[in-house]
Amino acid sequence: MTIGSRPIYRAVTGIAPPYVMYNNTSGTFYGYCIDLLNDIGSLAGFDYTIRKSFDEKYGDLDPKTGLWNGMIYELTSNMSDIAVGPIWITSSRAQVVDFAVPYQRPSGFTIMMLKKRRQAPFLRFLMILEIDVWIGFAFAFLFTIFLLYSLERYSPFSYRNNRPKYRNEADDRFSSLKECFWFAFTSITPHGGGEMPKNLSGKIVAGTWWLFGFVMVAAYSANLAAYETLERLQRNIESMDDLRKQYRVRYSTVANSSAFKYFLAMTRMEEWFYTNWRRMALDENTPEANRSDYAVWDYPFEDKFTKMYLAMKDTGFVRSVEEAVKMVREANRTYEFAFIAEAITVKYLTLTNCDFRQIGQEFGKKPYAFAVQRDSPLRTKLNDAITKLAIERRLNALEKKWWDENPSRANCPADKDFNAGFDVDDLAVTFLLILLGISLAVLILCLRYCWYCYQLNRRIKKVGLYATTRFASRRK
């Protein structure tokens, strides 16, 4: 279609942030590829109309029917003139449509996982032991206090009941529950609780409490050290090989996606290699000299994609990217999930969200390009315009605009080094304990001072009333 001197071409696209996005308010498309198409149109001298693909797919060949879908089908059916978006150049697509020169460096697939963060719960010192252990410790603590007080009060051999015997060893610490509390409390600290009670029963109770406290403190210290170093000792997954060689982290991809088809194709390729190796090694028609070279004990190739495909099949293929993101977010100490997808999908998710990280390098790379109908003269216009934009560094400017300076880019804090020492967040509760102790001491001091002033005023009033009464009685 031509209006005036500028032709108008029919463009079709699919949503793929940040290359192609859609503004529901204005009803317009925007993104890297839309800016690039506008620049191409200005240089080549054409306008365009654009819409979404009918099935919102880029284009795949059905091996059973031999028919294409998505934007590739619309080009072959003369429903569109140009397909816009991050479209991979593949040999099968190149047989039915023409591609312009790539506008960006090759891209492939990659892995996304939840970003590891050092967990620093505010009351982490209470999480070292289970709640039933803390309850048992509190019960033993209170029972020891009550037992020390009871033995001091009712034992005929205690200091309280034998003051003349211990005249030179005055020790009235166990005569009240308050003093018994401080003895039991300080016994589990490095300072110690001081001397034992005078009676034998009390000594046995105190010694048993000391032994119990020693074991509890040792167990707490050991668990604290293990709790703090557990994440450091775990081996992080940093590549596809790391992911393949472990069984702790489950992983998968979206069913019927490009990543799914890539792993399926690589699995079939590995199966083809293995079948041909067996045939060459066992075929009687193969010359004996060659067969002896082929007949090695172990298969010389590693079927890594087959193992990964079977692992993903066992996990189950997810239905959408949103479902995969949800599964990645649900990671905890006993469950982790890795999402394998197109690199542009993973990069945009990590760009706009601080909770995710990209694992390892990309694999299965292929270049991106716009597609046009077979033998279309539009291809030459696109090639000339893209080449000129590349020379003028316009493509670099677009990449910087939509990746480095993207308005949706999340402002993420710097990642902490897992091998670094403790920071303020890790030890915040320790400083809080000091502040709490100081605050409690000041509060008790104020309350006791007020109580002391109240008692003093009462005594002064009583003395004043008594003196007034005596003076009045004398005058009579």
List the binding residues for L-glutamate. Answer: 86, 93, 258, 342
Cα gap 269→306, rounded to integer Å? 9
The end-to-end CA distance of the chain, in Å, is 130
Question: If residue 83 lies in a helix (H) or strand (E), which one and from where to where?
Answer: strand 82-88
Residue 361 to residues 109, 239, 400, Cα–Cα distance (Å): 9, 7, 21
Of 39, 41, 17, which is closest to residue 29 (Cα–Cα)? 17
User: What Rg value do the Cα atoms of the chain yield, rounded?
Assistant: 39
**Could you give the CA distance from residue 245 to residue 106 in angstroms, rounded to a whole number?**
27
For residue 114, give the nearest of 237, 255, 260, 258 by alpha carbon: 237
- Nearest 10 degrees: CA dihedral of 76, 78, 80, 81? 90
- Pick from 374, 423, 393, 412: nearest CA to 96: 374
- The two structure tokens encoding residue 140: 């033993």
Question: Which residues fall within 8 angstroms of residue 205, CB to CB, at 6 or more apart?
Answer: 144, 147, 148, 151, 197
Q: Could you tell me how far CA 214 lies from the centroid of its own chain?
A: 37
Q: How far apart are CA 208 and CA 420, in angstroms?
A: 40
Taking residue 405's Cβ as centre, other Cβ atoms within 10 Å add up to 10
Tell me the two tokens of residue 403: 């990746």
Residues 6+ apart with CB under 8 A from 395: 36, 103, 104, 386, 389
Decide: 158 and 171 in contact? Cβ < 8 Å: no
Task: Report which of 301, 378, 336 is spatially closest to residue 40, judged by C-alpha positions.
Answer: 378
Contact 357, 83 (CB under 8 A): no
Rounded to 5 degrees, φ, ψ at 372 are -135, 175
Q: Residue ranges for the binding site?
A: 86, 93, 258, 342
187 neighbors 216 (Cβ within 8 angstroms): no
> What are the C-alpha distances in Å from 397 to residues 87, 400, 403, 404, 419?
20, 5, 10, 10, 38
3-state secondary structure of 96: coil
